[in-house]
Amino acid sequence: MKIYVSGKLVDRKDAKVSVFDHGLLYGDGVFEGIRAYNGRVFLLDEHIDRLYASATAIALKIPLSKAQMIRAVVATCQANRIRNGYIRLVVTRGVGELGLNPYLCRRPEVIIIAGAIQLYPVELYEKGLAIVTVGTMRNQTEAVNPRIKSLNYLNNVLAKIEAINAGVMECILLNPHGYVAEASGDNVFVAKGETLTTPPPWCGALRGITRDAVMRLAAEMGYTVREDVLTRYDLYTADEVFLTGTAAEIIGVVNVDRRTIGDGTPGPITRKLGRGFSEFARRAGTPIA
């Protein structure tokens, strides 16, 4: 495997960063998780735009232009002969001193990893997920805005620990007002009749690239799609619940806090969107070859 570090493609064993990098010391940096399908990097321009917006929000100047970053992502995929896979693009604050001052960091570090990923077992896409709501609350949006995809994922990790301890693979975080924010690594949708609802970013939800693509796809299929507040009651009484994310794609939820959703299997809207998304992903994106 070849990893892009400091402007070069190096072997995995040689892909190293300093222990004084503020990405390691303080979680100071931003990242994107990106998929490749059928020899194309899925919605790469959208991911790059979000990366640079996240960096701007934390006063981090990325040392590559957007065009250079796109070329670096494609080159890393080519070096690893990726046609279907996962790309992790990371920008850290770079090497600095002990202490929080980011202006002592000389140059941000860019890291690109391209490989394989399998978030959920294949059978769960047919059977659906059981999930729980957890006590770990989503961070206040006034503290760390959820639109910043930062390296500090401790809030999500703590929620994931609760999920695993409860015997499930995923969970839902609520915000301090009791509204649904998102899953530990995915966005959440509720279907009621022909209407799909997903939490707005101000509730603590990341504006996911897959989320937005699914919203557009659902609207094209004739469904009403809206952003609105959701509570646990809305999850429990939904016709369907599903999660969306770069790694997860679209996966149905069939049980929330031991309440069966619908008939206990992924519903027709979830399945239809899953098929539509798979077809869209095959042809949308930046060619690797």
Dihedral sign computed on CA atoms, order 168, 264, 256, 272: positive
Instruction: Give the model's pLDDT for residue 117.
Output: 83
CA distances from 156 to 53, 104, 210 (A): 21, 29, 18
Instruction: Give the model's pLDDT for residue 142.
Output: 84
- Tell whether the model's pLDDT for residue 53 goes beyond 90: yes
- Tell whether the model's pLDDT for residue 289 goes beyond 90: no
Residue of 68, 85, 64 whose CA lies nearest to 1 = 85
Indicate left, alpha or beta for 23 from its phi (over 0: left) and psi (-120 to 50: alpha): alpha
- C-alpha 186, offset from chain centre: 6
Dihedral sign computed on CA atoms, order 178, 197, 161, 132: positive
Rounded to an integer, the average pLDDT of 245-252 is 95
- Whether residues 182 and 249 fall in one domain: yes
186 is in which domain, residue-wise? Answer: 122-283
Instruction: Give the model's pLDDT for residue 141.
Output: 85
> Do residues 184 and 171 lie in contact, with contact meaning Cβ atoms separated by under 8 Å?
yes
- Whether residues 131 and 226 fall in one domain: yes
Model confidence over 69-116: pLDDT tens digits? 999 999 999 999 999 999 999 999 999 999 999 999 999 999 999 998
For strands 85-92 and 40-41, give the pairing: unpaired
Instruction: Give the model's pLDDT for residue 36.
Output: 96
> Do residues 34 and 47 lie in contact, with contact meaning Cβ atoms separated by under 8 Å?
yes
Q: Which residue among 54, 84, 115 closes a domain?
A: 115
In the sheet that holds 286-287, the strands lie side by side as 8-11, 2-5, 109-115, 85-92, 29-37, 40-41, 286-287
- Tell whether the model's pLDDT for residue 243 goes beyond 90: yes
Domains identified in the chain, total number = 2
- Whether residues 216 and 237 fall in one domain: yes
Catalytic residue among 8, 16, 149, 192: 149
- Whether residues 102 and 131 fall in one domain: no
Instruction: Give the model's pLDDT for residue 118.
Output: 80
What is the overall mean pLDDT for the chain?
96
Rounded to an integer, the average pLDDT of 172-197 is 97
Instruction: Give the model's pLDDT for residue 144.
Output: 87
Token look-up 């806090």 returns: 257
Q: How confident is the model at residue 261 (pLDDT cuts 50, 70, 90)?
A: very high
The first and second tokens of residue 28, run together, are: 């100071």
Rounded to an integer, the average pLDDT of 182-198 is 97
Model confidence over 104-162: pLDDT tens digits? 999 999 999 999 888 899 999 999 999 999 999 999 888 888 889 999 999 999 999 99
Instruction: Give the model's pLDDT for residue 108.
Output: 98
Dihedral sign computed on CA atoms, order 205, 66, 150, 157: positive
Contacts of 74 (CB under 8 A, 6+ apart): 41, 286, 288
* Structural domain includes residue 264: yes
Model confidence over 160-170: pLDDT tens digits? 999 999 999 99
- Whether residues 101 and 145 fall in one domain: no
* Structural domain includes residue 288: no
* Structural domain includes residue 289: no
- Whether residues 70 and 40 fall in one domain: yes
Is 127 tagged catalytic?
no
Instruction: Give the model's pLDDT for residue 47.
Output: 98
Dihedral sign computed on CA atoms, order 181, 183, 184, 186: negative
Q: Which residue among 115, 131, 164 closes a domain?
A: 115
Instruction: Give the model's pLDDT for residue 74.
Output: 98
Query: How many other C-beta atoms can be found within 10 angstroms of the C-beta atom of residue 97?
Result: 11
Instruction: Give the model's pLDDT for residue 265.
Output: 97
CATH of the domain at 214: 3.20.10.10
- C-alpha 255, offset from chain centre: 22
Instruction: Give the model's pLDDT for residue 267.
Output: 98
